[in-house]
Every structure is written in C-alpha cells, then in structure tokens.
Structure 1
C-alpha cells in the first residue's frame, strides 16, 4: 500500500474512533461515520490498485493547497528545478503547481517542470548516456530539495525526486550507500547554483507565483542576472 492510501486508511480509523467517543454525546447516528469510513476505504483501495496512488495525492494536495505556506513551498521547490535547468542549458517547456496539473500532463508529484530533453532521448536511443548529461539531469532533479533547504531550512517535499534519482543509480548498478552519496552530492551542486544566482532565483519564484509564461520566467532570470552583474561591476 502506498503512503497516500495508508493516510486515507488512517483517517478512516480516526473517524471511527472519534465517532465512537463523541457519537453518544451529540446524538450522531453510527451509520454516518460508518458510511464515511466505508467510502474512504473504498477510495483508498481503488486509488492504490487502479490509480497507483495518484488520486489520493491529488485529493490531499487539493486540501493542502488552501494553505498559503504549502503553496509557497511548492512555488519555491519548482523554481529550484526551473532555475537549475535553465543554468545547465536544458530548456524548460512548462511547469505545474499542483498534483492535478501534474497528473494532466503525465507527471507525478505535487508540482513539476517539463523539459526539452531531446538530447537525453537521443542518447537513450543510442543506448548510452554521457556522464555530463547524467550529471546535469541529476542535479536538476535534486534542485527542488536544495531550494527548500535554502528557503525554509528543512525539506517537506522531494520524495518523488529522491525516488527517481535512486532508481537511476540503481539501474546503473550502484549500491544503496553510493546512491545516498550521489544524492547528497547533487543536492550540494544544485544548492551552490541557486546560491550563486540568488537574485535570479527570487525573481523566478515571484514570476512563477504570478503564473508567468515560460518566456516571462526566462526574462525574469535574465534581468536579475544583468542586475547582479551590474552590482559586481
């Protein structure tokens, strides 16, 4: 059972327990919490086996989306991915800020960015990925976690990113300990890139908050870079 389905089951158990304690005090019919619990368990089962947990993720993300702090974390997380991809020369073609938007575009997680990965696709067709390409994509993958660390000092998202990175290195034959080392290395790489381009990162995060187009996001990065260079000069 995935984590989202497990959370839904935990909610149903909580509802049953709460109804057993408070039901007699407020004259609540036991049928109501029983139906609610049955419905939640049914959703969890269907989601786990038919939707691979995506339905529950979308629901939980929708509920959490009412929190400004949650939305702000998503914005800064995706801005990290976007900026690092831009700095490493991988064009960004789109971004999403909710699990629903990500699901509609065939992505996973609470948000996502889409990349023009023709170079990667070409190398995969040839059955060989260059070290440089692998390093760039792995750093982009860890950039959301790096951004959360810098802005919020702790990470709440990025589990999907970690899982993808681990899968990549397992397929390449690396041990679990090496996978952990690689993960820390690429988080550090992404963190350094964001810190070195901090004004661009802040400008990009604000542009994403305003739902700016990709072109306007890129302009925000370029304008901030020019501002940084003028200050240094």
Structure 2
C-alpha cells in the first residue's frame, strides 16, 4: 500500500474514533462516521491499486494547501532547485507548485522543477558520468532540502530528492557510505550557493508565487546575479 493510501486510512481511523467519542455529545448519527470511513477506505484502495497514489496525493495536497506555511514551504523548496540549477548551468524547463500542477505536467509528488537532463541521461545510459556533471546534479537535487533548512531550520520535503540521488549513485557503484558523504557534500554546496545569492533567491520566490513563467524567472536570476556566480 502506498504512503498516501496509508495516510487516508489513518484519517479514516481518526475520524471514526473522534466521531465515536464526540458523537453522543453533539448528537451525530453513527451512520455518518461509518459512511465517511467506508468512503475513505474505498478511496485508499482505489488510489493504491488504480491511481498509483495520485488521487490521494491530490486530496491530501488540497487539504494541506489551506495552510499558508505549507504553500510557502513548497515554493521555497522548488525555488531552491530552480536557482541552483540555473546557477550551475542546467536549463530549467518547467516547475509545479501543487500536486494538480505536477499531475498536469506528468511529474510525481506535490510539485517539482523539471530540467533539460538530456546530457546526464545520455551519460547514465552508458553507465558512466563525468564527476563535474554528477556533482552539479547532486547539488541541484539537494537544493530544495537546503533551501527549506535555511528558512525553517529543517526540511519536511525532499524524500523523493534523496531517493533519486541514492538511486543514481548506487547505480554508478557508489557504496552506501559514499552516497551519504556525497549527499552531505552536495547539501553544503547547495547551501553555500543559496547563501551567496540570497537576494536573488528571495526575488525568485516572489516571482514563483505569482507563477511567473520559466523564461522570465531565468531572466530575473541573470539580472540579479553577478556573472562570476554563474557556471557556463
């Protein structure tokens, strides 16, 4: 069962428990929690076996979107990816800031930044990749977590980013210990880039909140970033 389906099941159990306890006090019919529980468990089953977790992700993301901090976290996380990718010379081709936007762009999860990864995909297909290019992409993958950590002192998102980094490095023959070292190193690299370009990062966050298109976001970064900070 997917994590999303498990979350829906947990919600169903919570609602059942609360309505059972509070139902008599507020004169709530016992039929209502039964219907709600059945509906949520049915959705969890459908989501797990038919929608590969996407349906539940949309619902949970919609519920979470009512929290301003949740929305801000996602934007700041993705802005970290966007800025670091641009600074390291990896073209950004799109971004999504909600599960619905991600679904329309055929991206997993609750949001994401997509890149022109033709070069890295070609090298990985041959079972090798240059150390420089690998470091760039690993730094980009860790940049969302780095941005969240700098703003909130800890990251709530980024599990998919870590998993992607671990998967790629493991496929290249890195040991578990080497993967952890690379993750830490690239996290520090991402933090350094963000700190050095913090004013640009804040401007990018504001632009992405307005859903400014990729080209204009890229132009904004170029206009605010010293040329020496850009990797060709």
Deviation larger for 80-89 or 202-211:
202-211
Matched, 1:79 2:79: yes
Root mean square deviation of aligned Cα: 1.9
Per-residue deviation at 1:226?
4.8
Corresponding residue number in structure 1 for 2:46: 46
Q: Which runs of 5+ in 2 are unaligned?
A: none
TM-score (norm 2): 0.91
SS at match of 2:225: helix
Per-residue deviation at 1:227?
11
Contact 1:199 1:228 in 2 (8 A): no
Matched, 1:137 2:137: yes
Relative CO higher for 1 or 2, CA cutoff 8 Å, sep ≥ 6?
A: 2
Corresponding residue number in structure 1 for 2:190: 190
Counterparts of 2:179 and 2:228 in 1: how far apart (Å)?
Answer: 35
Deviation larger for 64-73 or 121-130:
121-130
How many residue pairs were aligned? Answer: 229
Counterparts of 1:184 and 1:66 in 2: how far apart (Å)?
Answer: 33
Corresponding residue number in structure 2 for 1:117: 117
Counterparts of 2:58 and 2:186 in 1: how far apart (Å)?
Answer: 28
Instruction: State the Cα deviation string for residues 19-53 of structure 1 (Å, max 9, x = none).
Output: 22122223322221111101101111121222222
SS at match of 1:93: strand
Deviation larger for 27-36 or 89-98:
27-36
Deviation larger for 176-185 or 61-70:
176-185
